[in-house]
């Protein structure tokens, strides 16, 4: 009797294994077919936008769906805007549904003749990630090492003609309740102005929460965020940090932007040396010296208090913005123009 029961149990286990294997095979082939259809749909063009993948190879059996593109391309508005990428190697692990990891090969070339943009970017290493669900994209990020970019177009195309950084990264991820966290950082970033002249090299990082954006970012995250901003938005600044030429400044707080682009809110500002900060601002734009009243600088110092931070001893003060009016404490400083959206 025991042998008979043991045989039945073994048979059931074997059958279960066969069923699981069959289901997994079906899952992989279905995912493979979906990847092929998605690639074909993008290459056929949607809404005037076409994404191409030269010499595409889809593989990865049995645990992943891998996509290898010898070259990537993008065209929009009948070829008026185009981009070309050296190559893409993307993988989607089936045991983590909705997740994609990719390695990117340079160069990246972006052309927009209407805006005089002819941008070429290179790097020694670059990776990207994306996560998506039923509502569309829920998160994305990219990391670059030894990033260099240069615009060969005219000065009107971009405010800067060249950018370089030892490392640079940016990402957006859900934070619950329809909010999203945006993070970015750059180390030893250098900018060359289109009008000529290099800006001081700097290190920067930021963490900002976009409040109540929605359940998902859809298939066009930039458009989703712009729609959110134009409807009136709340922004929580968890961290802004900049270090350059002996000046260190950081801030956190909250901002609200109205449908008309008017800012309101409050920021806690910390700085290591006000004179170094002003000198940095003047190096960025010499005209700022005439635009920053001495009374405002004196007010900032007078209304600040000493604090200890991760960057050492600093001064701290609060900046208030009420319907576009920037104040230090109760002292009005400047009327901020509406943000163009």
For position 78, what pLDDT does the model report? Answer: 66
The token duo for 197 is: 């002249």
Residue at token pair 């669900």: 133
- State the pLDDT at residue 35: 81
Task: Give the model's pLDDT for residue 221.
Answer: 81
What pLDDT shows up at residue 234? Answer: 95
What's the confidence (pLDDT) of residue 36? Answer: 84
Q: What is the pLDDT of residue 288?
A: 66
Q: Average pLDDT by consecutive 10-residue portion of the chain (341 residues)?
A: 58 77 76 81 74 89 90 81 92 89 94 88 96 81 96 79 96 90 96 84 96 82 88 95 91 95 94 80 71 68 87 90 86 82 73
Q: What are phi and psi of 185, to 5 degrees?
A: -155, 155
Residue 239, pLDDT score: 96
DSSP 182-198: EEEEEEEEEEEETTS-B
Show Cβ contacts of residue 183 under 8 Å, excluding neighbours closer than 6 positions.
169, 170, 171, 172, 173, 205, 206, 207, 208
The per-residue pLDDT for 14 is 76
State the pairing for strand pair 160-176/136-151: antiparallel
User: How many other CB atoms are there within 10 angstroms of residue 239's CB atom?
Assistant: 12
Q: Tell which residue, 271, 266, 275, 270, has the closest CA to residue 294.
A: 275
Interaxial angle between packed helices 274-284 and 294-302, expressed in degrees from 0 to 180 and rounded to the nearest 10? 150
Q: Is 67 exposed, middle or buried (0-12, 13-18, 19+ CB in 10 A)?
A: buried
Residue 195: CB atoms within 10 A of its CB come to 9
CA–CA distance, 146 with 83 (Å, rounded to integer): 21
The pLDDT score that the predictor gives to residue 60 is 87
* Domain boundaries defined on the chain: 232-341
């Amino acid at each position: 009797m025991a042998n008979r029961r043991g045989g039945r149990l073994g048979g059931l286990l074997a059958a279960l294994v066969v069923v699981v294997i069959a289901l997994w095979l079906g899952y992989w082939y279905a995912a493979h077919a979906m990847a092929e259809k998605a690639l074909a749909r993008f290459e056929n063009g949607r809404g005037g936008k076409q994404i191409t993948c030269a010499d595409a190879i889809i593989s990865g059996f049995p645990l992943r769906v891998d996509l290898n593109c010898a070259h990537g391309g993008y065209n929009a508005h009948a070829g008026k805007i185009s981009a070309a990428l050296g190559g893409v190697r993307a993988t989607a692990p089936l045991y983590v549904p909705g997740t994609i990891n990719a390695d990117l090969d340079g160069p990246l070339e972006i052309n927009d003749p209407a805006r005089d943009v002819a941008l070429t970017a290179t790097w020694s290493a670059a990776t990207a990630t994306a996560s998506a669900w039923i509502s569309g994209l829920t998160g994305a990020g990219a990391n670059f090492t030894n990033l260099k970019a240069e615009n060969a177009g005219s000065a009107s195309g971009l405010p800067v003609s060249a950018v370089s950084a030892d490392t640079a990264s940016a990402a957006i991820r859900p934070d619950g309740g329809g909010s999203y966290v945006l993070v970015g950082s750059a180390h030893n970033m250098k900018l060359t102005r289109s009008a000529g002249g290099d800006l001081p090299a700097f290190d920067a990082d930021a963490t900002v929460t976009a409040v109540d954006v929605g359940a998902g970012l859809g298939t066009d995250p930039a458009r989703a965020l712009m729609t959110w901003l134009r409807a009136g938005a709340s922004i929580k600044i968890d961290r802004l940090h900049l270090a350059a030429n002996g000046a260190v400044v950081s801030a956190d707080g909250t901002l609200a932007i109205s449908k008309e682009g008017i800012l309101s809110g409050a920021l806690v500002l910390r700085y290591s040396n006000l004179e170094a900060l002003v000198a940095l601002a003047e190096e960025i734009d010499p005209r700022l010296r005439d635009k920053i009243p001495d009374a405002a600088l004196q007010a900032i110092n007078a209304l600040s208090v000493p604090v200890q931070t991760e960057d050492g001893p600093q001064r701290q003060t609060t900046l208030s913005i009420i319907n576009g009016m920037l104040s230090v404490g109760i002292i009005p400083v400047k009327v901020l123009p509406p943000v163009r959206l």
